[in-house]
Amino acid sequence: MKNVLVIGASGDIGFAIAERLAEEGYQLILHYHTNRSGVEALREKVSRESILAVIQADLCKENDIRMFLTQLVFPVDMIVYVSGRAHFGLFQDTSEEIMNDMLTLHVKAPWLITKHLLPHMVQSQSGKIIFITSIWGDVGASNEVIYSSVKGAQNSFVKALAKEVAPSGISVNAISPGYVDTKMNSHLNEEEKHAILSDIPMNRAGSPTDVAHVVSFLLDHRSNYIQGEIIHLTGGW
């Protein structure tokens, strides 16, 4: 039975991923930042034996990251990075504080967490690391320059790390969703949502369960030969 660390388990996508993996018999270590109620709702939906630990941490803060690492007392066989937040606004209006927070949350925290957990994976000659990135990490978005930049950095990290750790039996991949119906997109009004949907050939938004299904596929040992890929989950957008 494999232990999976889900970073950002309380959001819509993280919740769907954790629920799916619990159903499939994985044991979960759940991270969240502020949405404690989301984690409690997850506890009520899955079997008690599925959740090994719940850890709260603000991964924008380096002290919290280091404290988080000390609380990882169970071995971690697989990591799913879901945690993230968008920032909307003109690039020239973006403060250095926001830039630092976005870089730490999306880039440095995954670096430090992965570095901490890799030795166990290398020793066991197995492991899975999955990032949930974004379509904007590929093509960029105006008014989301910082978010696009850090998601692009995640994509590059996946491609490079995959080559480095493949000889140790560790798979590293990413899922790059397009427009997914989550709270992160709640800032869009109905007209803006309609404009996006009209550009998507499948004529619908993606769902958190769509993402969870691809995570399940990548964690399966039969997917081991998929390495360093950014899987686009966009409905053809």
Residues acting as catalytic residues? 147
Sequence-ordered alpha helix ranges (H) in the chain:
12-23, 36-45, 62-70, 96-103, 109-124, 136-139, 145-165, 190-199, 208-219
Q: How many CB atoms lie within 10 A of CB 39?
A: 20
Using CA atoms, how far residue 177 sits from 107, 182, 235, in Å, is 18, 12, 9
Q: How far apart are CA 98 and CA 83, in angstroms?
A: 16
- Type of residue found at 202: M
Comparing CA positions, the residue from 234, 167, 212, 219 lying closest to residue 20 is 212
